[in-house]
Amino acid sequence: MFSRGTIFTMLIAFHKPYGVISQFTRDGSDFRTLAEFGFPPRVYPIGRLDADSEGLLLLSDEPELNERLLHPQHGHRRVYWAQVERIPTAEALRKLAKGVLVQGRKSLPCRAHFLEPQPDLPPRDPPIRFRKNVPDCWIALELVEGRNRQVRRMTAAIGHPTLRLVRVKIGDFGLGDLPTGKWKILTARQRKLVIQSEVQAVAGRVAAEKLA
C-alpha cells in the first residue's frame, strides 16, 4: 500500500482494540501488535494505551510530536470513558476530581462526571466481567497528566474498579465514529484540534496545580 521510498509527514488516529499492545514488536505475551493493522512505514505511537484499554491512539512520523504532546509540562488533555463497578456518589466523583493518591502521589485535579446519557458501545471481545448483583455505569475523566494505569488506579482509590476503559479524545480531537481496528490520516483541520489545544492544556495544568 505504501512505498518504502516515500517520505511522509502525518498524524494518524487509530481506534485501538482491546488486546493490542501499543508497539509494533511482540513483548512475549499473546497480545496482538500494531504491525497487524497496515500502518505506513516509519510511524510510531505517540504515548500508549495498555493492552486492556481501548480507543484513540495517535501515531506519527514526526519525532517532535512525542515531546510536544507527552511531556508533563505541556499537560495535554485526554478524555476517558470508564465503565466502573457500582454507581459512584456525587461525593465520590468530587473526591476523584480533587485528586486521589496514586502510588503514593496525589493525582492532579481533573474533571470527573457521570455520563448522561450512558454510552451504548459495542460489546467488548472478550466481554467485561459480569456480576449479576453488582450494577455498573460509565463515568468520564478529563486528565492533563498521563501516568501508568492512572485512570484504573484513580477509580480503584474511590472504591469503583474499572471494568472497561476507552480513550475518546486527545486535545480537542475526538474518536468519533472511527470503527474499532481502523485508522485514518488526520486532515490539517483535525490536526489542529490535536495540537492547538496545547495552550489551553497548559493553562489548565497551571490552574490545577494551584488547586492541588
Cα 187 to the center of its chain, rounded Å: 21
Residue 203: all three cell numbers together? 493553562
In the set 27, 30, 50, 136, the catalytic residue is 50
3-state secondary structure of 10: coil
C-alpha neighbours within 13 Å on the C-beta side of residue 14 = 31
Dihedral angle computed from the Cα positions of residues 42, 125, 156 and 204, in that order, rounded to the nearest 10 degrees: 40
Cα 175 to the center of its chain, rounded Å: 10
Looking at the chain, the number of H-run helices and the number of E-run strands are: 5, 11
d(CA 64, CA 176): 26
Residue 162 and residue 169 in contact, taking contact as beta carbons nearer than 8 Å: no
For residue 50, indicate whether it is catalytic: yes
As beta bridge partners, residue 141 has 80, 112
Residue 25: all three cell numbers together? 514488536
Active site residues: 50
